[in-house]
Amino acid sequence: MGTKVNWVGTDALFARPSFVSGAARVLDLGGTFDDYNRSRNEEDADARALQGDWAAVGSDMQKAIDTITK
């Protein structure tokens, strides 16, 4: 109990646009503002995605354990 789980997002491959960029996307019918975070190679991208996925699973399990043990 009391263990702090650091959140690692599962959306690591997607860029987080600013408010202005998000507003501009409303008018971007051609999809020219689409942007993704880049990795050196596919293995690095997969490793980051897997780390985020398992971190989310661990976070969910910790929440479930905390709920049960209350």
| Mean pLDDT, the chain cut into blocks of 10 residues (70 residues total) | 52 66 76 71 87 90 92
The verdict on residue 32 lying in a domain is yes
Task: State how far Cα 62 lies from the chain centre.
Answer: 18
Q: What pLDDT does residue 29 have?
A: 75
- Measured distance CA(30)–CA(33) in Å, rounded: 8
The verdict on residue 2 lying in a domain is no
The verdict on residue 13 lying in a domain is no
Q: What pLDDT does residue 5 have?
A: 47
46-to-12, 36, 54, 70 alpha-carbon distances in Å: 10, 14, 12, 36
- Domains in the chain: how many in total? 1
- Measured distance CA(25)–CA(47) in Å, rounded: 29
- The domain containing residue 40 runs over which residues? 19-68
Predicted TM-score (pTM) above 0.85? no
